[in-house]
Structure 1
């Protein structure tokens, strides 16, 4: 796999030059690389980049699977610190010009860039994870029912807590992360109304440090531990690793997010504290889009992954979780009721 290093933040003049060059190219020259015989695909990471043990790593797993199973060449591009939409436009343009198809933006922050770049490369499929606001014939929107998986986490937390206090830490207060909070709080409330939920966001837009700085997650978790929380669910990307560290040191329960964090090598020293994880099948979503392009039937429009398709869920990798039969039984019951339509999960707190 070819790894593209972090693209340095460009100045206004450089960004304008890059955009002008793109705009001046006609459709045939833009698509020339797309007609290359070499099959290559690319993903552009979100804040935190590869190695976040969470969101971005899940996308990378899908790319790696495509390399192995579909025999395509994979390219991945890192974000730069404090980057602008112009930087994302430059990155996606370079990936498309290089002949990658599809080109996938990992995270809703890529929406403005995909809106600008996709029309210039009509033969290239652009995928975006966690956003359905930008649309087009060559755009695939991979979205998830995060609130459903988070509801199951709330059920598990309410059953596992001994202090009757649990915590939620959101990286950045955006509508997407509020879905995690809403489902979690509802799951706790429906399971045991006497359990208190402490909720905190690390940063507010446009400050997205809450997805990238572990120290912020660690401090927030410590604050909730001090208030007697003994189960903490962090939806905060790389910053969530700081929360996991603090909760583990206190001997309390973590609930992971996006990937099965119990199985993540980078979190191995904390794994015994990770009761379960809310997963989003980002890996399969990425793989499925790549395969659709390889099959000549590229996906487009909204592609939704929920509990009914195992697109979201709760892991059982930790043997300690499996042994908590009261917890697992309650989670299994809640899952079936959501799938059957007996429980409707809120998408806002």
Structure 2
């Protein structure tokens, strides 16, 4: 088995890329901070059934909106539906109150967003992790998770001592399958004989289920787990932390945000970053400036700096591995390697 080390991949802002991807010639500075055509610009965000403080994609999107508020004085608010039945009413609450742009942060909200957009053609909506094309009042932000997950797979295969590697997903939907597909491909690139154990929790907001799934994997000899499970993934970190305190060395690869900042470097090997915060920030800013890219899907991968590995990767991952990751990143961007989207 080839053993390598990964180098941290710096992630830059997406402003230029987003403008190009949306067909904009550029953005102009607003002379009235936080206003559009003389009125306050209001942005609402509806999470999936997880918390806005999920340490993952909901939190990242909200941080993007908080930065908008800090930079321009926009009025930003969020709602956290507790059941599927509350999703559409939550979105409508923003739309009916005159919110200028309403975000939904997960693919599972796509049907509700589509329905509301069709029934409220004057409303502007955005969705993260879904591809809704051809509806003029919806902008979709989608990521090439498979490309970032491939790099995470390189790290996992290079650092595993048992050659048993785990993947825990939230729900078995296309966006999470892209994580799985890319991760498996990256692992196989380094160690074709590695055993990859896959578990789908079925939910994004159950810490207990994540902890139980991780316990089973670690007990079976898995020593590195990559998760794409939102708040459920917090339970994986909890299990790893308990084992670390007991003298057992196991790893978790975080997702969406640099999860070492929350769970520490004792158990966080690296994290696969999705720049949800920057994407939401830039598209919202465009909307406030009268340049809403409705009807389009903005897809962001390695070439657009939409995905990558956390800047803290070099704490636990040797330089040789990080150099190898960088070389694979360049091959993906050049088109020499095409990362699969299906497991």
**TM-score for both structures, normalised by structure 2:** 0.84
Quote the residue 2:160 is aligned against.
Answer: 161
2:41 to 29, 35, 39: 39
Q: Counterparts of 1:212 and 1:61 in 2: how far apart (Å)?
A: 19
Superimposed CA distance per residue, residues 113-144 of structure 1 (whole angstroms, 9 cap, x where no aligned partner): 11121134333320011111464111101000
Q: Counterparts of 2:134 and 2:103 in 1: how far apart (Å)?
A: 14
- Tell whether 2:305 aligns with 1:310: yes
Q: Counterparts of 2:134 and 2:90 in 1: how far apart (Å)?
A: 19
RMSD: 1.7
Q: Counterparts of 1:189 and 1:153 in 2: how far apart (Å)?
A: 12
- Tell whether 2:84 aligns with 1:83: yes
**Contact map agreement 1:159 1:326 (CA 8 A) in 2:** no
Quote the residue 1:263 is aligned against.
Answer: 261
Unaligned runs of 5+ in 2: 1-35, 244-248
**Contact map agreement 2:133 2:297 (CA 8 A) in 1:** no
Q: Counterparts of 2:175 and 2:261 in 1: how far apart (Å)?
A: 25
Alignment of 1:279-294 (within 5 A): 279-294=273-288
Q: What SS does the corresponding residue of 1:119 show, helix, strand or coil?
A: helix
**Contact map agreement 1:156 1:330 (CA 8 A) in 2:** no
Q: What SS does the corresponding residue of 1:172 show, helix, strand or coil?
A: coil
Q: Cα offset for 1:37?
A: 2.2
Unaligned runs of 5+ in 1: 1-33, 204-209
Quote the residue 2:12 is aligned against.
Answer: none
Superimposed CA distance per residue, residues 46-83 of structure 1 (whole angstroms, 9 cap, x where no aligned partner): 12121110010011111111111122011111112x32
Q: Counterparts of 1:54 and 1:125 in 2: how far apart (Å)?
A: 25
Alignment of 1:6-17 (within 5 A): none
**TM-score for both structures, normalised by structure 1:** 0.83
- Residue range with higher mean Cα deviation, 121-130 or 99-108: 121-130
Quote the residue 1:240 is aligned against.
Answer: 233
Superimposed CA distance per residue, residues 85-125 of structure 1 (whole angstroms, 9 cap, x where no aligned partner): xx322211210122211110111122111112113433332
